[in-house]
Amino acid sequence: MDNKDLLNEQIYDHTKASELIRQRAKAIGISRRRLVQLLTAGTSTATVSLFSSSQGRKIAQAQETSAIVKEIRPDWFFQVKTNLEMRWENMYNRGYLVPNELFFVRNNNPTPRIDPTNYKLEIFGDGVSNPRSFSYDELLSMPSISAIKAVECAGNGRSFYKNTYGQEASGTQWKLGGIGVAEWTGVPMGEVLSRAGVKPTAKDVMLISLDEKKVQRPIPIEKALAEDTLLVYAMNGDILPPDHGFPIRALVPGWVGIANIKWVGSIQVSTLPLFSVYNTEKYILIGDDYPVSQELQEAGVLGEITTEQKPKSAFELPWEGEISSGKRLLRGRSWSAQGKITQVEVSLDNGQTWQQARLREPNLSQAWVRWDIDWNARPGNYQLQARATDERGNKQPASVPFNEKGYLYWGIVTHSIKVVSHIHQPHR
């Protein structure tokens, strides 16, 4: 297999599962078949524990916590506990990037407050010859690059499973505001791993966070060494905000949001495949339409692992809101983790007729494109739809199969809007 194939998360997960079973069986002196029998008889928790060699590793603790640090304005966000969903109407008449203050927040627990003067990034594991730590200042002094990329929550669009199937998937009921595009600046992860003496035999890299749950999810060494996989310390030209991972977060372009670990405190480099609960029990697709391969079942994975997001589209309008009548540009944005958007079609009549939208530059891969159509909006109730196609030929379908945890919804979404002759606070 070409090592470039491992940059695709789905191929990577299946490959490492098979390899891990073989290596573990050899290490304890039993056959692969016997190990599979033992794992099948055990609990999923025990299985995950067997493969998570980083458990119990001491990690520096955040000094204090608050749920969310940034200003929380109800006209900017929908809030659910420690999560903030961006309101799309606030992106109308804005540029390509999402300002830091409007960027969505997806936290598993409260935002940790970390003192950069005491911060250390620890690199460890049998995949490096020189395990060591780096201070915040050391990281800032290294060669850096900037990349404009999207980060999107795996559950973005989850609420539309209920709209489609009448059945609510578990988790935060995101509409489409769990995505943002920013310019991220940081040190290539490969630079840091090189200084720790990454070995040719290294296979997997586990990023481990400093928040309460020590969130961790592995990536292959090939992805860790990609030139745009970064250890980020700046966002849109400013110091990385606490809610977005200060002092250091990962940028893993194209992979689901959970792979872009915030508040990175340590990195395990391993010569063996690594698993964590965040890709065996959590962030997986469970449903009749998501079969799990034999290799993944044997590795204790409970469902199909979430991978790349496919095309989605959103209007820069309030949900279930009102706008004033008259001539306007109807605007929106479309994106795909799998490449540039090549076409966007818009319907004003709930999908009965479609027209081509104008795509506006820039149109960056693994980010998004802005688009618009001319609309003479007359008073009435409208059911707007948009559907995008990316350069790989992925086109938004009418719906996607249900999964219990509500991940990776990329079907066409109906956006209801009321046009009135006059409103007291007109939409920008």
pLDDT of 44: 36
pLDDT of 295: 82
Query: Mean pLDDT for each consecutive 10-residue tract of the chain (428 residues)?
Result: 67 66 54 49 36 33 62 95 95 97 95 96 98 98 97 97 93 97 98 98 98 94 97 98 98 96 98 92 93 84 89 97 95 97 98 98 98 97 98 96 96 97 59
Give ranges for CATH 3.90.420.10 in the chain: 64-287
Give ranges for CATH 2.60.40.650 in the chain: 312-420
CATH tag for 312-420 (out of 2.60.40.650, 3.40.190.10, 3.40.640.10, 3.30.420.40): 2.60.40.650
pLDDT of 25: 56
| CA–CA gap between residue 181 and residue 341 (Å, rounded) | 15
pLDDT of 60: 33
Domain 64-287, CATH class in plain words: alpha beta
